[in-house]
Every structure is written in structure tokens, then in C-alpha cells.
Amino acid sequence: MTSINTLNSSIDTSKQLIVESIYGNAWQMTSYLIQLLHKMESYTESLNEQHPDEDFYTANIAISSALELINSAYTVPTDDDRFEGVKDLYLSTVDDFIQNQSDDAIADLAYLGALSNFVAEMRTYAWSQVISEVGPSEEKFEALKLAKRDEKAVEIATTTAADAIFAD
């Protein structure tokens, strides 16, 4: 079982890498968030199939709903040069944690949930900063509104998933 210290340390290290790598780039932050949610969705789907007596179905529906909401508002290509940096960040954070530091799916979901919430919050903050530093525009306010909506959707999804997974 992955220790809480390992989990927290990995989350903190990954957050720092995320900030250094993609902070301020809306496209990359959105792409990374979508990848995190896809990974969570695949975990909850697999766990639901393996443990039908548990409530992983509710967790899966919560994550899938947030992912669908975000995907409906953005077109994020995965086959151009911009994606390479996000892919490298994903490999050095998520894949590294799952393959080298974690030994259970629940810890992986906790890690992915923490990073998803962090990236969603970071997107909202970044748009707020752009508006206050560069000045307002209708387009920037719309981007901030969507970022806030996405942040709330991710928060609700990860909380619902956690509640379903850890319910007794």
C-alpha cells in the first residue's frame, strides 16, 4: 500500500513541475487536465468492472460527466508540437507516480484527483491574472467563466468519486 507520505510528497513534486511547465498556457493546462480526467475515468471504469459490489460506478459517472463537460467546450489536438510538452509532463508526473511510486489503484485515484483539482484551480487563477494584468475583454471573461465552470465540475466530480469510493 502506498504511504500517505509518498502520496503527499509526489503530489507536491508534481504540482511544482506543473507550475514550472505549463502555468499560464491555457491550451496546455486544459490538455493536461483532460488527460488527468481520462486516466481517472479509465481507473474508475476498470475498478467498477473488477468490483461490482463497490460503488465505483458512481465515481465513474462523476468523472465522466466532468470530462464530457470540458471536452464539449474545447478542441484540444493531441498530434502537434504543443502536445509534446504536455505529453512529457504527463509522463514525468502521472506515469512516473503510477509505475514507480504507487502500488494501488486507490492511491493513484487520490493522486489524480489532487492534480486535477490543482490544474483546474490553476487555470482559473491564470485567467484572473491575465484579466487583471492585461485588461478585460469579452473573450477573456468568457475564458474565465469557462475555467470557473470547469473548476467547479472537477471539484464536484472528484469529491463525488472520493465519497463513493470511501463510503462504508
Identity (one letter) of the amino acid at 108?
Answer: D
81-109 confidence digits (pLDDT tens): 767 789 999 999 999 999 999 999 999 99
37-72 confidence digits (pLDDT tens): 999 999 999 999 998 888 889 999 999 999 999 988
Q: What is the pLDDT of residue 108?
A: 96
113-139 confidence digits (pLDDT tens): 999 999 999 999 999 998 999 999 999
- pTM, entire model: 0.93
Under DSSP, the state recorded for 54 is S
| Cβ atoms within 10 Å of 121's Cβ, excluding its own | 15
- Domains and their CATH numbers in the chain: 4-166 (1.20.1260)
What percentage of the chain's residues is helix, strand, coil (to nearest 5)? 85, 0, 15
Identity (one letter) of the amino acid at 118?
Answer: F
Cell of 74: 474545447
